[in-house]
Amino acid sequence: MLPPRLFDRTLHRKRLDRAASGFARADFLQRRAALDIVERLEVIIRDFPRAVDLSARSGALRQALRDSSAAQRIGMLIEADLSAAMLNGRCGPRVVLDEERLPFGRQSLDLVVSTLGLHWTNDVVGALIQIRQALKPDGLFVGALLGGSTLTELRQALTDAESEILGGAGSRISPFADSRDAAGLLQRAGFALPVADVDRVTVSYEHPLKLMADLRLMGETNVLADRHPHALTRSLIARACEIYRERFAGPDGRVIATFEIVTLTGWAPHASQPQPLKPGSAKMRLADALGTVEHRLPRDG
């Protein structure tokens, strides 16, 4: 069965193309995610002869690597993006691709990194499976995507404004992955040693319209496949901004916006990796390890 079509990928590419020229003015999340990924790579003492940076956008990962010891262990870094405009004007190997249909051969890569792009795929697990298949055994994947708490304030303000004005509300902000299930995505895709971490970022804005402008510059505006039946009108936006400021403004009048960055780390399976013990194979009782006395539960009847 095909996964449900949540997002219009063609529209998403057009939004990224539109955002490319001004992306550097609102790339703070991309740079934060890239720096975090590079810090993780720094503590892994091994070489990655061939690496791919998915959703490379304006090249935040390559920039973060310039001052990092991890750069010495990465050979060829291929920058990839859904938007050709995002890759324009840079040197080095680049490829325009769709994260839902990766063009890489099986077991051809040592490292795959993804910085804030996979949350726009219609089938995240399917994309992760393709990444795992492209990795060599014991190859590494590190990916950052936006999690479920992202833009919770804007979501609430738009929903309540629409309910007041139109008598009902629909989806205007993308659903994001639940951070509690993030490691499970890697397990379902067949990765070994899955780990998921959450970084919640609170950003302060002078006005909610400034946040909306940043989302446009990021190429992160709504591309849900099922279009909302009512367009955003000036009155709806104005009321949403009023609600936003009433609920989420600080003493200085500035409003907050929450972004949740979920970072996934997983390895393509290899025989050298630690394996879980078979049930019943433990050589020590839990009670002995904890230094306690074991009490048997009474049997029913």
Residue-by-residue DSSP string for 170-208: ---S---B-GGGHHHHHHHTT-EEEEEEEEEEEEEESSH
CA distances 177 to 90, 122, 263, 300, Å, are: 32, 11, 11, 43
Contact, 55 vs 117, CB < 8 A? yes
What DSSP line would sit under 208-225, residue for residue?
Answer: HHHHHHHHHHHT-S--BS
Q: pLDDT tens digits for 67-79? A: 899 999 999 999 9
| pTM summary value | 0.87
Over the chain, what is the mean pLDDT? 90
How far apart, in whole angstroms, are the C-alpha atoms of residue 18 and residue 216? Answer: 9
CB atoms within 10 A of CB 155: 19
pLDDT at 279 over 60: no
How far apart, in whole angstroms, are the C-alpha atoms of residue 226 and residue 234? Answer: 22
Phi, psi (rounded to 5 degrees) for 115:
-110, 95
User: Confidence class of residue 94 from pLDDT cuts 50, 70 and 90?
Assistant: very high
CB atoms within 10 A of CB 252: 8
For the chain, which residues make up each domain, given as ranges? 9-155+172-205+256-290
- Top-confidence range, 44-48, 227-231, 276-280: 44-48
Q: pLDDT tens digits for 177-221? A: 787 888 899 999 999 999 999 999 999 999 999 999 999 999 999
What is the CATH code for 9-155+172-205+256-290? Answer: 3.40.50.150
Taking alpha carbons only, the member of 265, 135, 134, 257 closest to residue 198 is: 265
pLDDT value, residue 1: 62
pLDDT at 11 over 80: yes
